[in-house]
Amino acid sequence: MINLGSSKGKPTLGGILFLIIGFLHILIPAWGILIPEISASFFWYWGFYFAGSGGTTTSGIGPNDAWVTAGRTAMTLMIICFVIITITLILAKALKTFKTKKNLTIFGIVWLITGILLLIAPSIYLIEVSDIIFDEYSWGIGIIFSYCLAFVPLLVGIAVIYLQMKGEKVGT
């Protein structure tokens, strides 16, 4: 038997940390450029930007409406996925509803789908801004975190479904 959780019926520390980092990573710039003592520009998913050069700074909502729309779409999709993951963690740990093989398979499928959606979300944003981003700018930690965080539910979903298909008993 493979145990995916704690014996106390509460979400594990790893799940809680994943969700905290998942919700907070949206506050980190998605992409930007930093040239010490010359210029700095940073852009966030929700459309906010900060730019500075030669002692002057500007900030506000992004200069391109398509970027803002794509960023907000990606951010909304990520938030929805993290809310779904939060709900499934609460159901799986606090309420112990996934004791049956059928319900555990549904849990794995939900996490697999949210992992795929979390891979698609930053890609929507990158496709829209790709006409300029790769010429001058570099990926910010917000984009890198988006892809890294997507692999957690994706791998958990694959592991649960694989173990169910293999016939091993999985404990939650």
List Cα–Cα distances, 69 to 101, 108, 129, in angstroms.
41, 31, 11
- Distance, in Å, from the CA atom of 171 to the CA atom of 99, rounded to the nearest integer, reads 7
Q: How confident is the model at residue 6, as a pLDDT?
A: 47
Closest CA relative to residue 116, chosen from 168, 152, 73:
152
Strand partners, 51: 41, 58
| Domain extent listing, the chain | 2-27+64-171
Q: How confident is the model at residue 10, as a pLDDT?
A: 46
- The token pair at 17 is 């940390």
- Distance, in Å, from the CA atom of 108 to the CA atom of 4, rounded to the nearest integer, reads 12
Q: How confident is the model at residue 120, as a pLDDT?
A: 92
- Distance, in Å, from the CA atom of 100 to the CA atom of 121, rounded to the nearest integer, reads 32
Name residue 51's amino acid.
A
- Residue whose entry in the numeric block shows the structure tokens 């969700």: 19
Q: How confident is the model at residue 96, as a pLDDT?
A: 62
Q: How confident is the model at residue 55, as a pLDDT?
A: 67
Q: How would you class 91 by CB atoms within 10 Å of its CB: exposed for 0-12, middle for 13-18, buried for 19 or more?
A: middle
The secondary structure of 43-112 as a DSSP string is E-TTSEEEEEETTEEEEEE-S-HHHHHHHHHHHHHHHHHHHHHHHHHIIIIIS----SHHHHHHHHHHHH
pLDDT < 50: residue spans in the chain? 1-2, 6-7, 9-10
Whole-structure pTM value: 0.75
- Distance, in Å, from the CA atom of 78 to the CA atom of 75, rounded to the nearest integer, reads 5
Q: Under DSSP, is residue 11 helix (H, G, I), strand (E, B) or coil?
A: coil
